[in-house]
A and B are shown apart, each in its own frame.
Chain A
């Protein structure tokens, strides 16, 4: 089974900051990776699919990159509504797996 490791587990940042979250797969998954945003008490929201494809309606300040085992989610200029928890998810093979999450907090 493929395991997903995210880092950092939390990050403190200010509005306007550039934030980068990394995700590593325990084996190669090509570009079969998705990123989600989750706010407290809410369902996750798809941000990025196939490693770098922006989901419809998601602001362009979100971007994804990587392939194989190493992936990155970047928020180019953090906005107040971006404070949330972010998860990566491998979509290469069953059983699917999520990373442990990264919480973006207000500095």
Chain B
């Protein structure tokens, strides 16, 4: 079965760090564009970051970030674990949200598979 499972959310104080994981099954993350999308309580969807392979087997991954997280969040992936990560540093109250990982299989930036989401709450 093709699925994504996010873990790592929780309650964290402002200024703290957290690492989210997104484990894939039924497909390989290295062959797809993988994004993180978040949703603050009662609000709409906000794209956070993407990681994808630049083209050849030997090319480095390409990454992009929303301005709201640039310099604080880092996306990465481990091919051996078939997992995508989101390292979140210098967390702020406005980062409080459900974080989803999502797959774009065509490089078209439309997401066909989503995880169930993991809640991150930034509060003192």
Chain A residues near B114: list those with CB within 8 A: 43-45
- From A32, A44, A50, A92, B45 is in contact (CB under 8 Å) with A44
- Judge whether B28 is part of the interface by a CB distance below 8 angstroms: no
Give the CA-CA distance A36 to B108 in the complex, in Å: 15
Q: Contacts A94-B50, A95-B66, A96-B50: A89 and B110 contacting too (C-beta < 8 A)?
A: yes
Number of interface residues of B (CB under 8 A): 22
Contact with A along B16-47 (1 / 0, CB 8 A): 00000000000000000001010000001111
Q: Is the CB of B50 within 8 A of A98?
A: no
- Is the CB of A66 closer than 8 A to any CB of chain B? no
> Are the C-beta atoms of A96 and B44 separated by less than 8 Å?
no
**CB distance A49 to B35 under 8 Å?**
no
Question: Are B109 and A32 neighbours in the complex by a CB distance under 8 Å?
Answer: yes
Flag if B110 contacts A100 (CB, 8 Å).
no
**Is there an interface contact between A95 and B112, defined as CB atoms closer than 8 Å?**
no
Given A43-B100, A43-B116, A98 contacting B44 (CB threshold 8 A): yes
B44 near A100 with CB under 8 A, answer: yes
User: Number of contacting residues on A, CB 8 A?
Assistant: 24
Q: Are B67 and A32 in contact (CB-based, < 8 A)?
A: no
User: Chain B's interface: helix, strand, loop or mixed, by majority?
Assistant: loop
B-chain residues with CB within 8 Å of residue A89 when the two chains form the complex: 45, 47, 109-110
A34 at the interface (CB under 8 A from B): yes
Tell me the B101-115 residues at the A interface (CB within 8 Å). Answer: 106, 108-112, 114-115
Are A95 and B67 in contact (CB-based, < 8 A)? Answer: yes
Given A43-B115, A43-B116; A98-B45 close (CB under 8 Å): yes
State how many angstroms separate the Cβ of B44 from the closest Cβ of chain A: 5
Chain B residues near A34 (CB-CB < 8 A): 109-111
Asked whether, in the complex, the Cβ of A98 is within 8 Å of the Cβ of B108, the reply is no
* Alpha-carbon distance A89/B37, docked complex (angstroms): 12
Taken together as a complex, chains A and B put the C-alpha atoms of A1 and B64 apart, in Å, by 13
Contact A50 B110 (CB under 8 A): yes
Residues of chain A touching chain B, judged by Cβ–Cβ distance below 8 Å, are 1, 32, 34, 36, 38, 43-46, 49-50, 55, 87, 89, 91-92, 94-101
